[in-house]
Amino acid sequence: MKKALNFKIDENLPIEIVDSLRRANYDALTVEEQGLKGTPDYNIAEVCKKEGRIIVTLDIDFSDVRTYPPDEYPGIIVLRVKRQSRRHIINIFNRTIPFFNTEPIKHCLWIVEENRLRIRGEEGI
């Protein structure tokens, strides 16, 4: 059974990320859809916390566990990819979706790279 996960997609990611999540029956909103485009990271993080949404971003600032302790957030997913072409980002993210049902995400920081997934936080390693 699929976990009830809600996502917020940062403005630095292709809109197709939202489409992929919605096709997989997840609730996903973009920063732009909520009128938050250009909002500082800290404010985006607070909105995600309040709404119970997992932030998905390319912004490596979110991987700083001192600034964004994973146990204080519903989940943080940072894509750290070498090539930032639209197609490459979408492909890497789409390969990550199946792990939502098998790996801990609540109160965790996920670092998604081309060939590995690192999980850090309350439920992760």
pLDDT digits over 36-61, tens only? 898 999 999 999 999 999 999 999 99
Q: In total, how many domains does the chain have?
A: 1
What average pLDDT does range 21-26 have in this prediction?
Answer: 96
Q: Is residue 25 part of a domain?
A: yes
Query: Is the alpha carbon torsion for 113, 57, 70, 3 positive or negative?
Result: negative
What does the DSSP assignment read for 9-54?
A: E-TTS-THHHHHHHHTT-EEEETTTTT-TT--HHHHHHHHHHHT-E
Say if residues 41 and 62 touch (Cβ distance below 8 Å).
yes
Q: Is residue 1 part of a domain?
A: no
Range of the domain at 99: 6-121
- Kindly state the percentage of the chain with pLDDT values over 90: 88
Closest CA to 75 of 19, 121, 23, 116: 121
Q: Is residue 75 part of a domain?
A: yes
pLDDT digits over 82-99, tens only? 998 999 999 999 999 999
| Residue showing tokens 């750290």 | 80
